[in-house]
Structure 1
Amino acid sequence: MAGLAPEFMVWCRYGCGSNVHGKCMNIWAEHQTKALGKELSCPLCRTAWGEFSWRAPPPPRKKLDAARQQLLQACVHLGTRCAACKKALLQV
């Protein structure tokens, strides 16, 4: 099963050892356990799967676009000290 990063995959630990897409396995697990009332098994070798709990990893954080980056940099006053605590690098 190619095309996805390892965090999107699950694997059959007790049988064939094959990789399965986590999203596909969620669908398979719901069908087997809820619709058919069966124990969850590997969709490839049919060996008992055991407990299954998988969530898709969160999407990667996007880099700040140039306009937002400039705005954030404009809010930092380098070389300025706080009048109260005398700390440098004030941020608004």
Structure 2
Amino acid sequence: MKLHPHAYVIVGDDGRGVLVHLGIDTVELKGQGFELLAAEGDRVSAGQPVVAWDPAVVEAGGRSPVCPVVALDALSGSVTEVAEGAVHAGDELFRWE
């Protein structure tokens, strides 16, 4: 796993990596408003919090709280059933075939 306050990469046992970016342009905050709940290199489980942050605070500061989630190096057509609209904690975002 690669870990920054505003973004992290999780790599599964199958070698597939997923990038999660917490908000847009949040790198400019230099970690302010984010709390790391794991350390780089930790083994984490599905549903385990990795970073704590408040999207409302990010938005109040003029930045977007939208969180891109990227299937790294996924082959074309291998990511399906992508969620649309608002999602909640624990929702499935996509399937990676």
Whichever structure has more strand as a proportion of its residues is 2
Whichever structure has more helix as a proportion of its residues is 1
Larger relative contact order (Cα-Cα within 8 Å, sequence gap ≥ 6): 2
Q: TM-score, normalised by structure 1?
A: 0.24
The structure with the largest alpha-carbon Rg is: 1
